[in-house]
Amino acid sequence: MNIGWSELLRTLGGAFALYLVLEGLLPFLDPSAAQRLMARLAQTDAERLRWGGLVSIVAGLGLLWVSRHG
């Protein structure tokens, strides 16, 4: 697979834009639920947050792989 830098930047820009849209949905649709979620996350210990981040990374990479090769 040989893509140019402009294509790579366009793809990464689109992915980041989609991330921002998805990240903004909960605060827009239900601000009080977003506040409760942030308060719970602030009280969560670092080890649990780290594992949650790892699970999120693995799930995202798996979905990306399936979307590209599935």
Rg of the chain over all Cα atoms, to the nearest angstrom = 16
Q: CA-CA distance, 7 to 22, in Å (whole number)?
A: 23
Q: What is the pLDDT of residues 19-70, one digit of tens each?
A: 999 999 999 999 999 999 999 999 999 999 999 999 999 999 999 889 888 7
Position 1 scores a pLDDT of: 62
The domain ranges of the chain are 5-69
Q: CA-CA distance, 6 to 22, in Å (whole number)?
A: 24
Q: What is the pLDDT of residues 42-51, one digit of tens each?
A: 999 999 999 9
Confidence tier at 8 by pLDDT (50, 70, 90): confident
